[in-house]
Amino acid sequence: MPCTDGAKQASRDFSSVRADKAKMQQRLLIHHVAVSSLANRKRLFNSKTTEFRGEIIMEWGMKNRLSRLIQKDGKALFLPVDHGYFQGPTHGLEKPEETIKPIYQYADAIMLTRGVLRNCIDPAIEKPIILRVSGAVSMVGEDLSNESIVTSIQEILRLNAMAVSMSVFVGTKNENKSLSNLAKLVDECEDYGVPVMAVTSVGRELEKREPRYLALVARISAEIGARVVKTYYCENFRKVVDGCPVPVVIAGGPKTETQKEVFDFVYDGMQAGAIGVNLGRNIWQTENPVASIRAIRGIIHENYTAQEALDLYNQVIAGKA
Ligand code: R5P
């Protein structure tokens, strides 16, 4: 059979693929041996002081980031201004820098995308950043659940994010894609000690505020490796918190009719075991965002009741606090 130049080239290509594969297998073997020997060392010296040093350093990074987000009292107030990633210049967020300027000092962290971070936020800001890294959908597109990861791990580190967040959609046709995206993101971020927050949702066909569905998506997200879960408040919220082995924060959803409604559900959620909120529109779309965030902060960090929060809200508006 004649051996053409094309066939020779194909054979050379094939050999080089095989050589690459062999090199890769060798590297994996070395890695496996190294990891096993570290695991054995850890088993042999079953004491905190003899743990592998690299492991302590990696744990330290994760703990350090989480402790900048979740305060010493174990509570947290995250301020999300990421809505433009699928809603465009939505009401109240047309100029994100102007929206956050009067209120961010009352938040423990700000959640946004890299585009808003780079263009609208002073790099000298001291507040920790939670970087939203999923998207590539829009509110006029076919399916909001069809998200991809849109930010690389290099960018996450370059922007000094304290955590990342991504949406998880259970009960939709993109359930598997979204949960697989979460798994990949967790794998990448855990390598560098960056916590992942799952922003959980359920499909439209499921009752959005039903505890069994919210508990389902919260638990699945934690099982896949999310370090924090964001969910919506619902009746019997304790069921969601109790079934989720990682800290839970509550989102606000669309603006409510009255401020008291927000203070009520934040208070109830905290009583049920949430560690705080990731709450946007019910702060920055309200008539007085400073009064709103200060009152919510009162519930989270000062143990205020909903009524005490409302009193503070009114005092701030009246210029008395
Ligand atoms: C949705 O656009 C984002 O994930 C928000 O960060 C999340 O829904 C919380 O914001 P809000 O309290 O406005 O619902």
Give pLDDT tens digits for 223-236.
999 999 999 999 99
Q: Nearest Cα to 88, choosing from 157, 141, 42, 52?
A: 141
How far is Cα 170 from Cα 205, in angstroms, rounded to an integer? 11
Mean pLDDT of the chain: 87
Measured from the Cα of 277, ligand 1's closest atom is 12
| pLDDT of 58 over the 80 cut | no
Distance 229 CA to ligand 1 centre (A): 13
Number of neighbouring beta carbons within 10 Å of residue 87 = 13
pLDDT in tens, 27-52: 544 444 444 444 433 333 333 433 44
Q: Decide: 80 and 93 in contact? Cβ < 8 Å.
A: no
pTM of the predicted structure, to 2 decimals: 0.83
Q: Which residue's CA is minimally distant from atom 1 of ligand 1?
A: 83
For residue 167, the ligand 1 atom closest to its alpha carbon is 4
Percent of the chain at pLDDT > 70 equals 80
pLDDT of residue 26: 55
Cβ atoms of 271 and 100 within 8 Å: the answer is no
The residue whose CA has the least distance to atom 6 of ligand 1 is 80
Which of 57-66, 105-114, 270-279, 309-318 shows the lowest mean pLDDT across its residues?
A: 57-66
**pLDDT grade, residue 209 (50/70/90)?**
confident
Q: Which amino acids bring their CB within 6 angstroms of ligand 1? A: 80, 82-83, 111, 199, 251-253, 278-282
Q: Of the residues 199, 201, 293, which should be mutated to test ligand 1's pocket, given the most ligand atoms within 8 Å of the CB? A: 199
- 42 C-alpha to center of ligand 1: Å? 42
pLDDT at 112 over 70: yes
Is the per-residue pLDDT at 125 higher than 90?
yes
State the distance from the centre of ligand 1 to the C-alpha of 49, rounded, in angstroms.
42
| Mean pLDDT confidence for 176-192 | 98
Average pLDDT over residues 302-315: 98
Q: Which atom of ligand 1 is nearest to the CA of 279?
A: 12
pLDDT at residue number 203: 75
Q: What is the mean pLDDT of residues 173-187?
A: 97
Percent of the chain with pLDDT over 90: 77
Average pLDDT over residues 193-198: 98
Enzyme catalytic residues: 230
CB count, 10 Å around CB of 265? 23
Instruction: Assign 59 a pLDDT band (cuts: 50, 70, 90).
Output: confident
Which residue's alpha carbon is at the smallest distance from atom 7 of ligand 1? 251
Q: What pLDDT shows up at residue 21?
A: 57
- Buried b / exposed e over 203-236, threshold 16 CB at 10 Å, is beebeeebbebbbbbbbbbbebbbbbbbbbbbee
**CA-165 nearest atom, ligand 1:** 4
pLDDT at 60 over 70: yes
Which of 125-129, 191-195, 201-205 has the weakest average pLDDT? 201-205
> Does the pLDDT at position 88 exceed 90?
yes
